[in-house]
Structure 1
Amino acid sequence: MSESTHPRRKNRKLDQWIAFWTVPFFFNLFGIVFVPLSWMMPPRSPSSSTPQIVDFMQSHNLLIACAILTLSFGLAPVSNAVYLTQVKRMSVSPAFRYSMMVGSMTGAIVGMLFPMFCFGLGAFRSGYAPSTLEMLYDFGYLAYIGSLGCFCVMWMAFGLAILLDQNNILPKWLGYYTIWQYVTELMAAPVWIAKSGPFAWNGLMTFWFAMVLYVSWQIIVYICIYRAIKRQPDEQLENAWLDSELVSHDPRLRAPA
């Protein structure tokens, strides 16, 4: 088969690398929107005064932040697809992959869309009653911080898949690290009860401790996924399988006898 009749891409992992490098772009954009642009994060206090809440909820920067999130929200599934591609190579049941997929969708809806609509709605129109803005304020932060448990099933499936995998796609220690990390996310549950102290939504344990663990874990997972992609043989790429299928079914692509 000649290159002229069936040209091959030099980098067979190019599509996978494109998806991979969107991940840091998305998380950096996500951080810019939530921190220096809107100052939604670090979380403001649940016991903020009514004037403080009204002033924050009527900020024009919240509308700009929501507009950027609306444009970038679609990159979140791409980052999850990068992980799911490697989980698919593991010698485990597809149930783990489906659990990760559904968990990521649930968490993104509650933890990203809900806060975006709450904070954006508060800033969209002036004249809302302070009590209405207080409700949107509570709703937005409780959805963002209180939804961490939505990701528990997702990361539990990821950690167990790594530990049960016999193909050694990702290191076993990452599986233990993942399970330990997602257990700490259960500390988000008290935000529905505590309005002050370490277990409030801006508390030392509920937010700061969990956030430090999550960010460091996410960086380590990202590095491990990078190494897994680098080690992945071309024969395991689905686009390689597609090429062989095309060759077998299309006589024009077969090499001359």
Structure 2
Amino acid sequence: MSTDTAPAHAGGRARRPRRPAKLDQWIAFWSVPVFFSLFGLVFIPLSWMMPPRSPSSPQDEIVAFMQSPNLLIACVILILAFGLAPVSNACYLNQIRRMSVSPALRYALMAGATTGTIVGMLFPMFCFGLGAFRPGYDPAILAMLYDLGYLAFIGSLGCFCIMWMAFGLAIILDKNTILPKWLGYYTVWQYVTELMAAPVWIAKTGPFAWNGLLTFWFAMALYVSWQMIVYVCIFRAIKNQPDDELDNAALIAPPTGPPVRSGADS
């Protein structure tokens, strides 16, 4: 019968109990709901950046929103939570590394995650936070920051589209069946439909404005349901991953004989 503690060494000291081999992966995995919870807290009940306000909002409403002190509190929380974004993406990258596909798809996801997060999360935070940082800004400047913040958040889909397209193609082309094939097709379909958000740079009213029925609400409904399904599939992939596939799974065998003395000790 195996035990977690190895036999005592010559010096009388026993090896420490072995920690779970997937502990580091599970820490990264469970950071995902923490990140999205903080992300949702910042953008919805705290600052009410989301659901997005209208591009046609009156100037006095824009000024009142952009000068809200809650925006500064939201920025503080988002700055502290920002580091969890790459940790959560590491869960996806680690599973792609197990697939029988070119590393190019993994690098594409990594680059897309980096650029997309900067444009889609940091830019809006800086725009909205800057508007609230110092009272008395000219209303025209606040209106410009308002436009830039929302256009960056809703209109930065190109980076994310390529990022998740690489993820979907990796699943489809993989022969190791790390993740189910249907998830790959679902991922590609989901992000093709999000291309309808491109007209936010043109439309200021209607279904293709940044707060429109198709551009925001339809795309958000697809994204949230897809993200939850991906999360469940990643959980199963980590759970089913054999320990001998882990980089940290190799254990140094305990010495079976007395320690070898060096010439200096004799």
The within-5 A match list for 1:38-187 is 38-187=47-196
**8 Å CA contact retained: 1:200, 1:206:** yes
- Does 2:219 align with 1:231? no
1:3-56 alpha-carbon deviations (Å, 9 max, x no partner)? 755435242111110110010010011001100000000000000000000000
**2:214 aligns with one of 201, 205, 210:** 205
SS state at 2:248 partner: helix
For 1:237 and 1:225, the matched residues in 2 are separated by 15
Which structure has the greater CA radius of gyration?
Answer: 2
- 1:205 is aligned with what amino acid? L
TM normalised by structure 1 equals: 0.94
Task: Please state which structure has a larger fraction of its residues in helix.
Answer: 1
**8 Å CA contact retained: 1:59, 1:123:** yes
- 2:7 is aligned with what amino acid? S
- Paired positions, count: 248
SS state at 1:208 partner: helix
- Does 2:223 align with 1:214? yes
- 1:256 is aligned with what amino acid? T
Please state how far the C-alpha of 1:186 moved relative to its aligned partner: 1.1
1:205-232 alpha-carbon deviations (Å, 9 max, x no partner)? 0000000000000000000000000100
SS state at 2:249 partner: helix
Please state how far the C-alpha of 1:120 moved relative to its aligned partner: 0.1
For 1:213 and 1:107, the matched residues in 2 are separated by 18
**2:45 aligns with one of 36, 40, 60:** 36
SS state at 2:157 partner: coil
- 1:106 is aligned with what amino acid? T
**1:2 aligns with one of 2, 7, 13:** 7
- 1:189 is aligned with what amino acid? A
For 2:254 and 2:155, the matched residues in 1 are separated by 57
- 1:134 is aligned with what amino acid? A
2:256 corresponds in structure 1 to 256
For 2:17 and 2:25, the matched residues in 1 are separated by 16
1:250 corresponds in structure 2 to none
Please state how far the C-alpha of 1:240 moved relative to its aligned partner: 1.0
**8 Å CA contact retained: 1:149, 1:185:** no
- 1:2 is aligned with what amino acid? P
For 1:210 and 1:102, the matched residues in 2 are separated by 23
**8 Å CA contact retained: 1:99, 1:157:** yes
